[in-house]
């Protein structure tokens, strides 16, 4: 089956065919580094990381670009509030972004360009747009003239006339048209600025992404992606200014992820339900966060709640327990397992299910369903059955390739045994011994069974009881 993706530009699923051979220029709008990134921001970060990995798994040569917006009004405001240079704020939250991304198992992009390293390119593009009469200067600001670009509105499907009438309030008098947007903003006294033909100022947000994607990708990208909130105005404006300058389509495919809510409400600081990834990771295994997102199709809305996270954790535990069993059986087997036809057929069958799901607009939710089927199969296997090896070997291949390399999940049994877990286990073993001494078999069995569920076995010897991970 060929890979199909939902293209926001044409509002339908289309076969994915890169512009040139098997090379894919894939640009994702990265974070504006003015605060710790939140759980909503983690969605595009994780999902597009999985798409990139899947494209690579499919044999594409992916040039994956995720920018850092390190100059912006929000950064300037925060720096002003804290009385520091804007670079201090940008550096702190860029570092926090990379740290969080790494913990979430997100692969570094091929390149992470920063806006402030690309000011020259932005000046050039703004000049070009003025020369081509697509932009005009007023008091040190440069605006894009949307009436000069007939395709304006094509990505968001918005009606320009309607938008104009809706935008009459708070119109900046200096603009010809209320929808014209800033390519270059003049600096107020004390604000960070760069020299330009129009006086000291800084770039607008939209021009940053156009320049960075053209520099590191191409004039026409294969994929441009981001959250749904970016469709308008950010991506619409990127298209207008890039296509007006270059005369070629800006991106062949546009992918947008749906929004994350918290317990059914929009996440916002004012509602007090704002969750940063940094805080969440003090409470949850990052891979639980990853699987939480994978369990939902990327274009659907997703709701974050304790309940959903518990479900995600239970889902991951099911897969990990199955993987423990796989390793346990393979380790216990005397001889190294050699391939047989059954195993190869089984691998192909598993692979096909997962690949078909991913080829259908990256349906990770359906792909995860196949992993659970495999886990169910593993858990109900009689490990002494010789034929079970084919199945177990096939499952291991799938977990190690698609599960780990594409979905970025970790299943391994290398749980760390630290002093605390040893001390706690000794207490649990003592409780069980006391229960047995009191002939409280119900409690003794409960302890053993519950431990087994989390992958720990107790072994009774004459001298006492020891424990180990399955
Ligand atoms: P920002 O730093 O606000 O530009 O956001 C970075 C990325 O996160 C963009 O692709 C946004 O569309 C995306 N994003 C922001 N909030 C959410 C949310 N609540 N749910 C899903 N994606 C979001
Ligand atoms: Zn962008």
pLDDT by 10-residue block (mean), the chain, 470 residues: 96 98 98 96 98 98 98 95 97 97 97 98 98 97 97 93 67 84 95 97 97 97 98 97 98 98 88 90 93 98 96 94 85 62 81 97 98 90 75 90 96 70 90 95 93 81 79
Q: Is the distance from CB of 292 to CB of 309 less than 8 angstroms?
A: yes
Of 383, 406, 429, the residue that ends a domain is 406
| Mutational test site, ligand 1, from 8, 47, 68, 229, max ligand atoms within 8 Å of CB | 229
Give the pLDDT score at 103: 95
Give the pLDDT score at 379: 83
Give the pLDDT score at 131: 98
3-state secondary structure of 325: helix
Q: How many domains does the chain have?
A: 3
Whether residues 263 and 322 share a domain: the answer is no
Of 380, 406, 432, the residue that ends a domain is 406
In a domain, 228, yes or no: yes
In a domain, 413, yes or no: no
In a domain, 117, yes or no: yes
Q: Which residue has the tokens 């599960």?
A: 403
Whether residues 368 and 249 share a domain: the answer is no
Whether residues 258 and 153 share a domain: the answer is yes
Give the pLDDT score at 461: 82
Q: Which residue has the tokens 């001494």?
A: 437
Q: Report the separation in Å between the CA atom of 229 and the middle of ligand 2, taken as the mean of its atom positions.
A: 11
Whether residues 133 and 97 share a domain: the answer is yes
Whether residues 391 and 433 share a domain: the answer is no
What is the CATH classification number for the domain harbouring 369?
Answer: 1.20.120.640
What is the CATH classification number for the domain harbouring 93?
Answer: 3.40.50.620
Whether residues 180 and 58 share a domain: the answer is yes
Measure the CA angle with vertex 241, ends 238 and 243; round to 5°: 95
Tell whether ligand 1 has an atom less than 6 A from the beta carbon of residue 46. Answer: no
Q: Which residues contact 14 (CB under 8 A, 6 or more apart)?
A: 4, 5, 6, 7, 253
Whether residues 170 and 273 share a domain: the answer is yes
Q: DSSP character for 460?
A: E
Whether residues 425 and 381 share a domain: the answer is no
Considering only CA atoms, which residue is closest to atom 1 of ligand 1?
31
In a domain, 109, yes or no: yes
3-state secondary structure of 332: helix
| Mutational test site, ligand 1, from 36, 44, 209, 233, max ligand atoms within 8 Å of CB | 44
In a domain, 377, yes or no: yes
Q: Strands 260-262 and 302-304, how do they pair?
A: parallel
User: Could you tell me the residue range of the domain that residue 328 belongs to?
Assistant: 309-406
Give the pLDDT score at 114: 98
In a domain, 301, yes or no: no
Give the pLDDT score at 326: 87
Of 355, 379, 406, the residue that ends a domain is 406
Considering only CA atoms, which residue is closest to atom 12 of ligand 1?
227
Whether residues 233 and 108 share a domain: the answer is yes
Tell whether ligand 1 has an atom less than 6 A from the beta carbon of residue 267. Answer: yes
Q: Is the distance from CB of 135 to CB of 183 less than 8 angstroms?
A: yes
Whether residues 236 and 368 share a domain: the answer is no
In a domain, 36, yes or no: yes
Whether residues 342 and 198 share a domain: the answer is no
In a domain, 34, yes or no: yes
Give the pLDDT score at 337: 57
Considering only CA atoms, which residue is closest to atom 14 of ligand 1?
41
Give the number of other Cβ atoms within 10 Å of residue 268's Cβ. 11
Whether residues 143 and 215 share a domain: the answer is yes
Give the pLDDT score at 385: 72
pTM exceeding the 0.85 threshold for the entire prediction: yes
């Amino acid at each position: 089956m060929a890979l199909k993706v939902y293209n926001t530009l044409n509002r339908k699923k289309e076969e994915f065919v890169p512009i040139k051979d098997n090379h894919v220029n894939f640009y994702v709008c990265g974070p504006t580094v003015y605060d710790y990134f939140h759980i909503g921001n983690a969605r595009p970060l994780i999902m597009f990381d999985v798409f990139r990995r899947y494209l690579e798994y499919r044999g594409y040569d992916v040039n994956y670009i995720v920018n850092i917006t390190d100059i912006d009004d929000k950064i300037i405001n925060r720096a002003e509030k804290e009385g520091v240079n804007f670079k201090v704020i940008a550096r702190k939250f860029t570092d926090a972004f990379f740290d969080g991304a790494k913990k979430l198992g997100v692969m570094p992009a091929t390149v992470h360009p920063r806006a402030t390293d690309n000011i020259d390119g932005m000046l050039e593009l703004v000049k070009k747009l003025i020369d081509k009469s697509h932009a005009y200067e007023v008091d040190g600001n440069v605006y894009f003239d949307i009436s000069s670009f007939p395709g304006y509105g094509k990505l968001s499907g918005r009606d320009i006339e309607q938008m104009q009438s809706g935008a009459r309030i708070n119109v900046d008098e200096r603009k010809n048209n209320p929808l014209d947007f800033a390519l270059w903003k003049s600096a107020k006294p004390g604000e960070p600025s760069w020299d330009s033909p129009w006086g000291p100022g800084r770039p607008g947000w939209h021009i940053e992404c156009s320049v960075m994607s053209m520099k590191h990708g191409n004039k026409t990208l294969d994929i441009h992606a981001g959250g749904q909130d970016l469709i308008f105005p950010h991506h619409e404006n990127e298209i207008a200014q890039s296509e007006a300058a270059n005369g070629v389509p800006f991106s062949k495919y546009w992918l947008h992820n749906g929004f994350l809510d918290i317990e059914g409400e929009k996440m916002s600081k004012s509602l007090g339900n704002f969750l940063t990834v940094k805080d969440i990771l003090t409470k949850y295994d990052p891979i639980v966060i990853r699987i939480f997102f994978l369990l939902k199709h990327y274009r659907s809305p997703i709701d974050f709640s304790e309940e959903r996270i518990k479900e995600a954790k239970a889902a991951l535990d099911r897969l990990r327990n199955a993987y423990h069993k796989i390793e346990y059986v393979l380790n216990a087997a005397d001889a190294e397992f050699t391939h047989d036809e059954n195993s190869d057929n089984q691998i192909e069958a598993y692979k096909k299910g997962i690949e078909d799901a991913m080829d259908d607009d990256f349906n990770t939710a359906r792909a995860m369903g196949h992993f659970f089927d495999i886990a169910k199969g593993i858990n109900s296997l009689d490990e002494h059955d010789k034929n079970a090896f084919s199945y177990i070997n096939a499952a291991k291949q799938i977990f190690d390739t698609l599960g780990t390399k594409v979905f970025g999940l970790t299943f391994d049994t290398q749980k760390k045994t630290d002093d605390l877990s040893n001390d706690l286990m000794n207490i649990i073993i003592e409780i069980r011994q006391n229960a047995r001494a009191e002939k409280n078999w119900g409690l003794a069995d409960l302890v053993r069974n519950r431990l087994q569920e989390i992958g720990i076995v107790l072994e009774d010897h004459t001298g006492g009881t020891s424990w180990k991970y399955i």
